[in-house]
Chains A and B, each alone.
Chain A
Amino acid sequence: MYYSSLLALELPEWLSDWLADIGDQFYLNFIKDQRYMYILKGLGITLLVTFLAVLLGIVLGVLAAIIRSTHDKLVTDMRGGFGKAVLSALNFITNLYLTVIRGTPVVVQLMIAYFVIFSSSNNKVLVAVLAFGFNSGAYVAEIIRSGIMSIDQGQFEAGRSLGFNFVQTMAYIIIPQAFKNVLPALANEFIVLLKETSVSGYIGLEDMTKGGDIIRSRTYSAFMPLLAVAAIYLVIVIFFSRLVTILERRLRNSERQ
């Protein structure tokens, strides 16, 4: 009795059945017909779209943030004329951009980009990068702007009093400090964007989520492909969150104590 129960590495029937079933399922969903390639290729698309969109988002966001904070800082001091008109117009356009983008769902923006604005294009990756980039830019703008606003006005005055013009003061003194303050928030925006690209399937772009869904439609089993997709997102997000934590600690340990 004793021995048999000890030696009986033979598992209970339900468990061995379940394990065998898992094995079959694994084979069916990932190995057969090289179905794992849907997920792997999708992962590549997901990362590509995220990285490019983040770059576009940062460029747009910095521009929008500079326009907004320049407007807020300078417009009351300006004597009118051409410069003021241009700045006010730019500020209006920027505000419109921020309001529209932040006031509508990203899926709708993505579909409008693909089916309306670029309906003649079939480059889904490019359309997705543009749509997610413009979307992210609106959020990055507010992150950077809050960074610029968080810098003490005295820094600005110190720069100007040395004889730097507005642009030089921004470039040498304000932006470097602002950027440092918001790096963690920017990294977080990257994480958010990574997950947001999972709606790319709406325009038929085969990102990782869509890849998992294609497998599901082939094998009629949802459990494995979708859990695998979720697990990969989770691992990537945990990895980048760790990086953000390390980054935050480094920044805290640098010159400002």
Chain B
Amino acid sequence: MSGSDPGKPVIQVKDLKKYYNGTDIKALDGVSMDIYKGEVVVIIGPSGSGKSTFLRSLNLLERPTSGTILFEGQDITSPKTDINKLRQKMGMVFQHFNLFPHMTILDNMTLGPRKLLSMTKPSAEAKAKELLKKVALEDRANAYPSQLSGGQKQRIAIVRALCMSPDVMLFDEPTSALDPEMVGEVLDVMKVLARSGMTMVVVTHEMGFAREVGTRVVFIDQGKILVSDTPDKVFENPDNERLKTFLAKVL
């Protein structure tokens, strides 16, 4: 049951398929992937390729049409699984931050730990402040999200997810909605997180990040995994035609 077993994958995806309601448009067309502890899997691909759908399936924000997803040994699509319990261990960061605008930064961060992990207010706040310090935003604890820049919001969104002490962090295009000058500060936080050993799955268009931080780069196109390899191999020596075309466009 526990994810600390080093031999077993933390997330095990088998033959995942997703067809959009009634149509035969295949957002995911048989995707399988094992993700091990400490890995930083970076998913790249053209828009509409299914990479976000894949990521969102991992914590069941998107319900797959068929296939299985095991998280720490439990099938998350099974009706017997308490998906809310599992989601607590899978932090998620969104393209549009999705901070709660009616709460202060501190409340945004402590809501989950207090209500779901039964932490006391002081201990939840102590933990939140510690994390805020790590992203250099400890002075904004009592600000509201609308008072922050995009980059600051996304750093808060990351530490909000970390407050739940997740085993895995999922990033859905975390820098796509940011002004260019703010991309760096968010990627820096993600790099530090990766180096601390966090298991991460990142959908991104930041090829520099993929190359530098990723332990594995996965190229998805038309709902299928076409390439899954080390960053070196993917970026220096691509042998897949579609990947080559894609990289030629984005690099």
Residues of A bordering B, CB below 8 Å: 76-77, 79, 152, 154-155, 157-158, 160-165, 168, 172-173, 176-177, 180, 255-257
Contact = CB atoms under 8 A, between A and B. Distances in A.
Given A157-B94, A163-B87, A177-B102, A255 B144 contact: yes
Contacts of A176: 102
A158 B87 contact: no
Nearest to A179: B102
A76 B79 CA distance: 16
Given A164-B112, A255-B144, A155 B98 contact: yes
A255 B101 contact: yes
B75 to A, nearest CB: 14
Interface string B144-158: 111100000000000
Given A158-B99, A163-B84, 15 more contacts: A79-B79, A154-B98, A155-B98, A161-B87, A161-B161, A162-B112, A163-B87, A163-B112, A163-B164, A172-B115, A180-B102, A255-B102, A255-B145, A255-B146, A256-B101
Nearest to B56: A157
A160 B101 contact: no
Given A154-B94, A155-B100, A177-B102, A162 B146 contact: no
B111 interface: yes
Contact of A177 (B101, B147, B164): B101
Contacts of B91: 161
Interface residues of B, number: 31
Contact of B84 (A155, A164, A180, A256): A164
Contact of A161 (B61, B79, B85, B145): B61
B116 interface: yes
B202 interface: no
Contacts of B146: 255-257
A256 B144 CA distance: 8
A152, A157, A168: which has the most chain B beta carbons within 10 Å?
A157
